[in-house]
Amino acid sequence: MNDWNIQSRSRLCHGCDNGFEDQQIYHSLLFSQKGTYERQDVCKTCWKGQFSDTSGAAKGFISHWQGRYQSPPPPPPEAIRKDTAETLLRKLSEKKLPHYAGALYILAVMLERKRVLKVRGQVREKGQRIFIYEQAKTGDVFTIAEPDLSVEKLGRIQHDVAELMENGLPHELESENEDPARPKQGTNASNAQVISGEINQEKEETHAEA
Ligand SMILES: [Zn+2]
């Protein structure tokens, strides 16, 4: 017998090929055939006509249940934006691109507002403030430096963020592992990193409860 696998609900009745409508009752039948399970979803009519008056054994199915069909919801735009911001944050964190230090920070703040990230602490390094962010669900930790947000830089940073959200990382950066502009040995330039899992938290707590 094969391992159990996931078989998602069909959009069509296996008996008559009619599409299920939202909130329609359907019947699921599980067959065991040649060492695998096969799921069939049928409408009420087909269930009554073909299956309900016979025993499962006669028709060969080993399990049966009834459900209510729910049309797949349209993709939630908010969730997509969240994912995009988080995906970008991860990419920028991994690539440690000095040019995007500002954008990285802004993305982190956006994700914090959406409660995707939590501030777990902050440290000072060479006069620069470093925030420790934790991804609320996965526990991944990001350390992200507070950039120079002076007025003349802020314009460029906002432009970078808008550009990233619209188009993602520029192609040449997406495919590279190393940023050629980055100094070989870590300097102030490498001000972002991802640490998976737990960290020691002897840092001062910040943003106690927003
Ligand atoms: Zn049917």
Largest CA distance in the chain: 78
Q: Ligand 1: distance of its center to the CA of 104 in Å?
A: 52
Last residue of a domain, one of 54, 72, 90: 72
| Helix (H), strand (E) at residue 84 | helix 77-95
* Domain membership of residue 116 as a residue range: 77-195
Do residues 176 and 113 both lie within one domain?
yes
Instruction: Give the DSSP letter of residue 122.
Output: E
Q: Ligand 1: distance of its center to the CA of 74 in Å?
A: 25
What are 159's two structure tokens?
């432009």
Strand arrangement, sheet containing 61-68: 36-43, 25-33, 61-68
Q: What is the pLDDT of residue 201?
A: 41
Do residues 128 and 60 both lie within one domain?
no
Would you say residue 204 lies in a domain? no
Q: Ligand 1: distance of its center to the CA of 41 in Å?
A: 9
Q: Ligand 1: distance of its center to the CA of 191 in Å?
A: 60
Would you say residue 208 lies in a domain? no
Q: Ligand 1: distance of its center to the CA of 17 in Å?
A: 6
The tally of domains found in the chain comes to: 2
Q: What is the pLDDT of residue 25?
A: 93
Shortest CA distance to 97 belongs to which of 204, 174, 209, 190?
190
Q: Ligand 1: distance of its center to the CA of 12 in Å?
A: 8
Would you say residue 202 lies in a domain? no
Q: Is 17 exposed, middle or buried (0-12, 13-18, 19+ CB in 10 A)?
A: exposed
Q: What is the pLDDT of residue 78?
A: 60
Q: What is the pLDDT of residue 5?
A: 57
Q: Ligand 1: distance of its center to the CA of 33 in Å?
A: 22
Q: Ligand 1: distance of its center to the CA of 28 in Å?
A: 12
Do residues 187 and 126 both lie within one domain?
yes
Cα angle, residue 38 at apex, residues 37 and 44 outer, rounded to 5°: 135
Q: Ligand 1: distance of its center to the CA of 107 in Å?
A: 49
Place of tokens 């735009």: 77
Q: What is the pLDDT of residue 82?
A: 54
Do residues 140 and 64 both lie within one domain?
no
Q: Ligand 1: distance of its center to the CA of 15 in Å?
A: 5
Do residues 38 and 55 both lie within one domain?
yes
Q: Ligand 1: distance of its center to the CA of 52 in Å?
A: 13
* Per-block mean pLDDT, blocks of 10 residues, the chain (210 long): 58 94 89 77 92 69 83 66 78 85 93 91 83 83 86 89 86 62 42 46 43
